[in-house]
Amino acid sequence: MSLQEVRNIGFIAHIDAGKTTVTERVLFFSGRTYKIGNVDEGTTVMDWMPQERERGITITAAATTCLWRGHHINVIDTPGHVDFTAEVERSLRILDGAVVIFDAVSGVQPQTETVWRQANKYKVPRLAFINKMDRAGANFLGAVEMIRRRLDANPVPLQIPMGAEQAFHGMVDLVKMKALVYEMGKTEAPDEQPIPEEMKEQAAEFRQYLVEKVAETDDALLVKYLDGKEVSEEELRAGVRKATINAQIVPVFCGTALQHVGIQPLLDAIVDYLPAPLDAPPVTGVHPKTGGAVLLGPDPSGPLCALAFKIQTDPYIGRLVFVRVYSGTIKAGSAVYNASRDTVERASRVVRMHSSAREEVPELTAGDIGAVVGLKGTFTGETICLKDAPVVLEPPKFPEPVIAVSVEPKTKADQEKLDEALRKLADEDPTFVVRFDQETNQTLIAGMGELHLEILVDRMRREFHLEANVGKPRVSFREAITAPCRVEGRFIRQSGGRGQYGHVWLELEPQPRGTGNTFESKITGGAVPREYVAPVNAGVKEALASGVLGGYPVVDVMVRLVDGSYHAVDSSEIAFKAAALIAMREGLRRSRPILLEPIMKVQSVTPGEFLGEVLGDLNGRRARVQNMEGLGNIQVVDALVPLAETFGYATVLRSLTQGRASYTMEFSSYEPVPASVAEQLLVKV
């Protein structure tokens, strides 16, 4: 199969928009499965984990493949819940195109904005599918307008719905100018009919709008359009494809996946408008030794280059490393080079994934997404290539965990099993962090939210047969400095034999939020020999890992090594590291340290009669209301709330609104804790 006939796409959306339902129908109509899975019944192919089937949500990105019109489509179904945003991030890093699914009633929701920004970051071309057109309150044009306004996008409908809510029964295809009529709930292909008389005028208006928008992106079509000539179906299709791949427009489709409506035209659109690997620009990497840029096109016979984007532990086959191959070929049994770690490993087996099932294949070539067995030392974000053609690709970037709990085994005998289970889970999930707290002698696990940690503890119990005691959730606070300072650190010890001598001057300076910590050496004239700069940096990093207020990590600090002295005999790496630690402790105390807390973006959706109670509760949680919007009788409240104040919010919100309100929450930023609250928190530490 040629690369022009391959599509690597993902379904992305807010939770409950219908990603998994759409994916299940795609697999059924393409002949990949013979039975349609249902999320509510826990029978879907893509949600294969017990935790996913019980809760009716997607937790892990699942990959599969299907065929449509002779094209090979690699599909990744991603989670919508914000706690599992890393799954979306790593999937978009390696995909060529995406289908963004919107709820026809709610339109653009908070997590939609997040996944849209992630797709923007990786320049992924998109189609929009407005799902659930049969629901009460469905509004196709309202959803399109929200896409334009909230996502700053250029949505262009390629279909308009025929009817809405209970009367919805199909759509008008604006490229073919035909009506596609469905029998609701039946799996037969749509009946292609002439456009109904009462919709001809509306269809003509939208067709003209479509041609105008596409002509704006194509000079040849623009000339033809301005001359008043008819644009053919083939020309329009080619124009839409080019504009979509260049991210100039977002084609919009509609349907209702639960009733099997709109899936075949969506599959046609994936083939017609989303890019093949050949349409994507060459992937850019860096030579690990020289630092020079390396460009690689999707050539199966070229040098191997693949990105490991996901790790999964399989109970039968062991460790699976999911890869996207950008160039060359990975053959079963071949040796591969991990350029990120400078190690050689053997790819013992190569498989294609169909959710949790595996299909063994002899090789994966450029443009393929699959998994490799046997790579024990390869982790998420690392590059696999050939030793004589090394290249390192940019890894996906993941958010920092914001919530932590302590975990300990029920019996001492299980400690080793617990360590092994946590290591395997941390291998799989880059937003799951395990660390040992020396002060409390506790193992702490940190993640993106309460649900994230709840799922991981549940997996320990089921997959590793391990019962554990879990502490209460703790917020991952940070510390920062607010004033610059210059400090001296001396570590001088004299004993009978050789002594220890380390002496440094450091400058500390606050940096803007989110910048991170940086260290640089400004030493001139050899006041501190070059071989001692790295130990000074190590001492700085160690000090920043535990601040002076509550022992929390210190962030957004610039540290400069500006001066110092050494002793020809007594100086050592240990002495300079100790001197840096002493200087940093003093510097952090003198730089007016403050406590930072994670702030969450919370969107509460409530019936209008409960708005007062919901706002009152948010005010009691130190919330800052950003926006309120009415959608009929429904009120949508956007607020920024400290994470520490959100524990138990789901229960309170349900009791305040008779169970009729819902909310979504995602991490926003770290902000200073008010002085009065900080005092109470630091007393507890």
CB 384 within 8 A of CB 338: yes
Task: Provide mean pLDDT across the span 396-411.
Answer: 82
Residue 248: pLDDT over 90: yes
CA distances from 539 to 499, 506, 535, 570, 577 (A): 19, 12, 6, 18, 5
Task: Provide mean pLDDT across the span 300-321.
Answer: 89
What is the Cα–Cα distance from 315 to 448, expressed in whole angstroms? Answer: 26
CA dihedral 564, 568, 572, 575 (to 10 degrees): -40
Residue 480: pLDDT over 90: yes
pLDDT band at 245 (very low <50, low <70, confident <90, very high): very high
Residue 438: pLDDT over 70: no
Task: Provide mean pLDDT across the span 15-29.
Answer: 88
Q: Which of 211-225, 235-249, 602-616, 629-643 has the highest mean pLDDT?
A: 235-249
Please name the amino acid found at residue 390. Answer: P
For the chain, what's the residue count? 685
Q: Average the pLDDT over each of 132-136, 225-229, 295-299 and give the range with the smallest value.
A: 225-229
CB 479 within 8 A of CB 554: yes
Residue whose C-alpha is closest to residue 75's, from 52, 94, 55: 94
Residue whose C-alpha is closest to residue 374's, from 354, 353, 351, 345: 345
Residue tagged 């025929």 (tokens) = 162
The number of beta carbons lying within 10 Å of the beta carbon of residue 360 is 11
Q: Average the pLDDT over each of 164-173, 208-217, 653-662 and give the range with the smallest value.
A: 653-662
Task: Provide mean pLDDT across the span 454-472.
Answer: 85
pLDDT band at 636 (very low <50, low <70, confident <90, very high): confident
CB 214 within 8 A of CB 249: yes
CB 282 within 8 A of CB 302: no
pLDDT band at 263 (very low <50, low <70, confident <90, very high): very high
End-to-end CA distance of the chain: 62
Summarised one tens digit per residue, pLDDT across range 565-620 is 998 888 899 999 999 999 999 999 999 999 999 898 888 888 888 999 999 999 99
Q: What angle (nearest 5°) sits at the alpha carbon of residue 15, between those of residues 10 and 20?
A: 45
Residue whose C-alpha is closest to residue 114's, from 5, 41, 40, 14: 14
Residue 385: pLDDT over 60: yes
Summarised one tens digit per residue, pLDDT across range 542-558 is 999 989 988 889 999 99
What is the Cα–Cα distance from 557 to 510, expressed in whole angstroms? Answer: 5
What is the Cα–Cα distance from 618 to 641, expressed in whole angstroms? Answer: 8
Give just the sign of the alpha carbon dihedral 527, 530, 532, 533: positive
Residue 294: pLDDT over 60: yes
Summarised one tens digit per residue, pLDDT across range 24-69 is 899 999 988 887 767 655 566 665 666 666 766 767 888 899 999 9
The number of beta carbons lying within 10 Å of the beta carbon of residue 144 is 22
Q: What percent of the chain has pLDDT over 90?
A: 50
What is the Cα–Cα distance from 114 to 372, expressed in whole angstroms? Answer: 30
**Per-residue pLDDT at 106:** 87
Summarised one tens digit per residue, pLDDT across range 197-206 is 999 999 999 9
Kindly give, in sequence order, each residue whose CB lies less than 8 Å from that of residue 584, ignoring residues fewer than 6 positions away.
Answer: 487, 489, 506, 508, 539, 540, 543, 544, 559
Residue whose C-alpha is closest to residue 133's, from 101, 165, 100: 165
Mean pLDDT, the chain, integer: 88
Q: Which of 162-166, 205-209, 599-603 has the highest mean pLDDT?
A: 205-209
**Per-residue pLDDT at 40:** 58
CB 27 within 8 A of CB 297: no
530 backbone dihedrals φ, ψ, rounded to 5°: -55, -35
